[in-house]
């Protein structure tokens, strides 16, 4: 993988990357622009999460991380300051939460009927267009996770019909009047649906259905305001780099925020190609990526072009995922999945650098065994502190003293990962 122009050294794998002995590019001031996944809870939730998990990390390591109060700095931005001393080196980070939660809430149906219709429509659309099939061939957990919402809905319908039939048949055998049979059968249907709705709150599968429906609409340019929001985020990136206020500008996308991060960064480069070579170093970090879910949609040609542009740029782009995270395209090259022959015009290797988060390395075995059964909890681990030190450290990345590409310069990117393929040659 190419290394950013300003990086000067490679850290040995057994060397603490935060050690003051390293000669990697030092960060004293950082500007993070963070894009959340498809989550209506907005900046208040993510500020609390960052603050509480930073405190956990500080307690575990003894290193100082102070998270300031959240404040509005723009109609589309809420900001907090992070002051940290990691590896004995102080760093101050401006952490901007870029808001699109208003758009999310507009596409977050609460009616069960609407959720069912949206989920089944989206699943059928992705089946018909081949997105589910192609995703499943490269990652079987994706095939399972991607089908959960539709399967759960169909299971409820099947159980409701079965319950109604059993009640009807049993009562008919005893000569129960037809009106009572109808009432009892409908009550059985209602009971199944109520129980299904309550149990779903533990599974969170409707969240997946909403994500699929939103992605289909996004690919078809049917999400009001989203294109303008992408452009606004791109302008914010350009402004952050050109201001010269930070040593590093880090664009971070998580989950369904990863396609937004890629789009915004690519559009920022169109606005001002020079931001790739500034003293303020620009980098992109995607976590638990869903970039490929959008790029595989037939109508998403504009987005595929943006993925190619960022992949062939001089802006370092690192992608962290975990094979045990069934809600992301783990270890999947987001360019070659739709363009297998893609190469950079200059012949250098394309971004992103794919890295395994190695979740089991940073979480205690008992905790890991428990959270593996909860797809949402696994998917949020990227934003959380570990139980012990490991190479992946969200708080060292966003608040520590090294640039993103410098921190992981010693790591080789994953290539042709076959561990999750449904059929291996």
Q: What is the pLDDT of residues 40-95, one digit of tens each?
A: 999 999 999 999 999 999 999 999 999 999 999 999 999 999 999 999 999 999 99
pLDDT at 178 over 90: yes
Residue 422: its pLDDT value, please? Answer: 61
279-320 tens-digit pLDDT: 889 999 999 999 999 999 999 999 999 999 999 999 999 999
Residue 344: its pLDDT value, please? Answer: 83
**Mean pLDDT, residues 158-166 taken together:** 97
Among residues of the chain, what percentage have pLDDT more than 70? 93
Residue 141: its pLDDT value, please? Answer: 84
227-269 tens-digit pLDDT: 999 999 999 999 999 999 999 999 999 999 999 999 999 999 9
State how beta strands 89-98 and 248-254 pair.
Answer: unpaired
State the pTM of this model.
Answer: 0.92
Split at pLDDT 50, 70, 90, the class of 336 is very high
Say if residue 352 is preceded by a cis peptide, omega within 30 of 0.
Answer: yes
Report yes or no: 361 and 391 within 8 Å, Cβ to Cβ: yes
Q: What is the dihedral of CA 318, 376, 220, 106, to 10 degrees?
A: -120
Split at pLDDT 50, 70, 90, the class of 15 is very low
pLDDT at 360 over 80: yes
Interhelix angle 140-173/112-128, rounded to 10 degrees, is 130
Among residues of the chain, what percentage have pLDDT more than 90? 84
Residue 332: its pLDDT value, please? Answer: 94
**Mean pLDDT, residues 267-276 taken together:** 97
Residue 140: its pLDDT value, please? Answer: 83
Residue 348: its pLDDT value, please? Answer: 81
């Amino acid at each position: 993988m190419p290394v950013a122009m300003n990086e000067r050294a490679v850290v040995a794998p057994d060397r603490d990357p935060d050690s003051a002995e390293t000669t990697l590019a030092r960060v004293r001031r950082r500007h993070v622009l963070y894009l959340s996944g498809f989550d209506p809870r907005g900046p208040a939730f993510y500020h609390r999460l960052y603050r509480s998990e930073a405190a956990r990390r500080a307690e575990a390591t003894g290193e100082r991380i102070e998270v300031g109060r959240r404040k509005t700095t723009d109609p589309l931005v809420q900001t907090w300051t992070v002051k940290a001393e990691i590896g004995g080196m102080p760093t101050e980070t401006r952490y901007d939460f870029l808001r699109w939660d208003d758009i999310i809430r507009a596409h977050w149906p609460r009616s069960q009927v609407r959720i069912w219709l949206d989920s089944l429509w989206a699943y059928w659309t992705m089946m018909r267009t081949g997105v589910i099939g192609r995703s499943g061939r490269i990652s079987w957990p994706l095939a399972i996770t991607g089908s959960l919402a539709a399967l759960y809905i169909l299971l409820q319908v099947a159980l409701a019909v079965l319950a109604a039939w059993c009640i009807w048949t049993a009562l008919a055998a005893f000569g129960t009047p037809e009106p009572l049979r109808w009432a009892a059968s409908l009550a059985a249907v209602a009971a199944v649906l109520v129980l299904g709705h309550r149990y779903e709150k533990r599974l969170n599968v409707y969240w997946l259905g909403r994500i699929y429906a939103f992605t289909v609409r996004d690919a078809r340019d049917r999400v009001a305001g989203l294109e303008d929001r992408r452009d606004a985020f791109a302008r914010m990136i350009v402004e952050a780099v050109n201001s010269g206020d930070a040593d590093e500008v880090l664009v971070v996308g998580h989950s369904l925020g990863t396609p937004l991060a890629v789009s915004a960064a690519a559009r920022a480069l169109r606005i001002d190609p020079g931001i790739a070579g500034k003293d303020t170093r620009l980098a992109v970090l995607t976590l638990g990526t869903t970039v490929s879910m959008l790029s595989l949609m037939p109508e998403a040609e504009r987005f595929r072009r943006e993925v190619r542009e960022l992949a062939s740029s001089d802006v370092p782009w690192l992608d962290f995922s975990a094979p045990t995270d069934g809600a992301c395209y783990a270890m999947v090259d987001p360019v070659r999945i739709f363009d297998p022959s893609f190469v950079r015009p200059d012949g250098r290797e394309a971004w992103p650098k794919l890295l395994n988060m190695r979740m089991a390395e940073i979480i205690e075995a008992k905790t890991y065994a428990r959270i593996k059964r909860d797809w949402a909890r696994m998917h949020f681990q990227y934003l959380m502190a570990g139980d012990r030190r490991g190479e992946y450290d969200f708080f060292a990345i966003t608040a520590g003293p090294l640039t993103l590409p410098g921190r992981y310069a010693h790591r080789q990117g994953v290539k042709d990962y076959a561990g999750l393929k449904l059929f291996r040659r």
